[in-house]
Chains A and B, each alone.
Chain A
């Protein structure tokens, strides 16, 4: 059996606001294998984003055990995390290529190679020919593609995505889901994908971790045994429906 890439056991996270303390995550326990795409699904405010920030090393945690990396996959938190947020967060004054290069600049990577890599990544996300455009010249979906390329520029082992398609219209979102699966397959990254879209979580994930709200509590963690490449017509299959119903039930919506 392979060692998990991410290993969480009873991870707790407290927030302090003045004198008050409240629990943002009460007990997160799950494993992510190398190369997996795990969906974290739950209602708004359930602490999914907080959990992602804990994984990114931006927040500490109070109790439990959190380990990222394994003997086969060493992990350096400063270089091995790529992040994509709901907003593309592209810098308006930089061209797309320069935006993709930002993490490489911050890490001080050799620029000639980084540029080459940025071009290759832009091709991977379907943005060839847009290298010298400014963000405002691109649609929302295209901006998010550029943000994904930026998250991959320093070749991180782990990509954390916080509702990256939440601001897109439904059709673009479906298209981006397919694109993400393709990029994931081609890049071989481990991805943790936070969403409140139940169908999106099932469609993308090799595994779905369900969190319930206030404080975030692990409600379930199960594998999605639908084959890849996934296609949109799988969404109408009975098995897909079983998965989504299972999540709806956990979230108390049935």
Chain B
């Protein structure tokens, strides 16, 4: 009962903190008499959401598609590549240093190139989100698959276990906490990647909308767009967390 109360209290405090932020925001704008085009009040921001001119829903759909598609593409490719590397020492020795170097490229800097190659639209933005989310997943998964105690290896080899048994019973489940740790980092990066893509060149999406309304100093709409982008990110991150709780035993979770 005590523990339940503790959890409840912590949730209540977290909700309170968020409400407090909105209140401080409101007071700051009202008492400071901040002009609307510099910083709108919470209510003015919410007003923007009710205006049909912005096409919120279709823009949300576009941005969310880019983020989720890029993210899951990165997840599939990252885990698959890491698997290939654990199966072939040769490929790993050749490609891993290369990938570490490629990881040093600020993926955002590739944005203009990707747009040259793939034109405007959902595809290039998805690819930017993909390229930025790929590395954390790939690197942590590869690391997780390598983390196997030599004595565990002895135990399995002593029983003449097959490579496949070692992989399915020990390596892969052992790597799950690492995969999730990479997925959490990647979730945040994928959102940033898609938005940068929309900034660089796009004709739809929340990032594109922000640039459009910036011209007319429509700050409430910009605020709303930032909030909606954040909410898409929160949805993705929340999904990853929920999945982690489902699949990874409490003690095995990293961070």
Q: Which residues of A contact B (CB under 8 A)?
A: 53, 56-58, 78-79, 81, 83, 85, 87, 89, 91-93, 102-103, 105-107, 134-136, 154
Contacts and interface: CB of A to CB of B under 8 A. Distances in A.
21 contacts: A56-B154, A56-B158, A57-B158, A58-B154, A78-B158, A78-B159, A78-B160, A81-B158, A85-B151, A87-B149, A87-B151, A89-B149, A89-B151, A91-B173, A91-B174, A93-B173, A93-B176, A106-B159, A106-B161, A106-B165, A154-B159
Describe A's contact surface by its main secondary structure.
Answer: loop
Contacts, number: 57
Given A53-B154, A81-B158, A89-B151, A106 B169 contact: yes
Contacts of B155: 83, 85, 89, 103
A135 B169 CA distance: 16
A103 B161 CA distance: 9
A134 B249 contact: yes
Interface residues of B, number: 22
B159 A93 contact: no
B154 A83 contact: yes
Contacts of B252: 92-93
A154 B248 CA distance: 28
Contacts of A154: 159
Contacts of B152: 89
B2 interface: no
Contact of A103 (B151, B159, B173, B250): B159
B159 A107 contact: yes
Given A78-B159, A91-B170, 6 more contacts: A85-B154, A89-B151, A91-B174, A93-B249, A106-B169, A136-B249
A106 B165 CA distance: 7
A95 to B, nearest CB: 9
Given A102-B169, A105-B169, A134 B159 contact: no
A78 B160 CA distance: 6
Contacts of A102: 169
A97 B249 CA distance: 15
Contacts of B160: 78
A248 B86 CA distance: 46
Contact of A134 (B157, B165, B174, B251): B251
B169 to A, nearest CB: 7
Nearest to A81: B158
Contacts of A92: 249, 251-252
Nearest to B151: A85
Nearest to B173: A93
A66 to B, nearest CB: 16
B156 interface: yes
Contacts of B151: 85, 87, 89
Given A89-B149, A89-B152, A92-B252, A58 B158 contact: yes
Among B154, B159, B248, residue most surrounded by chain A Cβ atoms (within 10 Å): B159
Contacts of A89: 149, 151-152, 155
Nearest to B166: A106
A83 B158 contact: yes
Contacts of B174: 91, 93
Contacts of A93: 173-174, 176, 248-249, 252
Among B152, B155, B176, B251, residue most surrounded by chain A Cβ atoms (within 10 Å): B155
B157 A58 contact: yes
A83 B249 CA distance: 25
A107 B165 CA distance: 10
Nearest to B247: A93
Contacts of B165: 105-106
